[in-house]
Amino acid sequence: MTDQLGPFGAIWEAWDEAHDEIVGKPLSHFQRAVEVQFEELDAHLAAGDRAAAAREAVDIISIALNSLRWLGYRPEDVEEIACSRAEQRMRGQALAILDKYQRLHGI
């Protein structure tokens, strides 16, 4: 059941057919896939196509979900991880996180 993932449940289910292949991939597969999607997103923005850029952003979310699948988590686990991470790491700390990335990584 993927109700826990809200609108992202459909993405999870769409990738169910490739589950065995996904869990056999190396971590570098997901790293490179994200890079490719950001390159495509950038190209769409350069062309002025925000709708296509948004679709690439959804593809990035699908890679994140498949990374969690690769780690052995199920949709109900993902819900708990996401809620916990948002509450414990992000809520009330978003500006500090942005500052940290600026200081440490220049972004």
Per-residue pLDDT of the chain (107 residues; tens, 9 = 90+): 688 899 999 999 999 999 999 999 999 999 999 999 999 999 999 999 999 999 999 999 999 999 999 999 999 999 999 999 999 999 999 999 999 999 999 99
pTM exceeding 0.85: yes
User: DSSP assignment, residue 77?
Assistant: H
Question: How far apart are the C-alpha atoms of 80 and 73, rounded to whole Å?
Answer: 10
pLDDT at 104: 97
Q: What's the number of domains the chain is made of?
A: 1
pLDDT value at residue 44: 98
Q: How does DSSP classify residue 87? A: I
Provide the domain limits for residue 101: 3-105
Query: What pLDDT sits at residue 2?
Result: 82
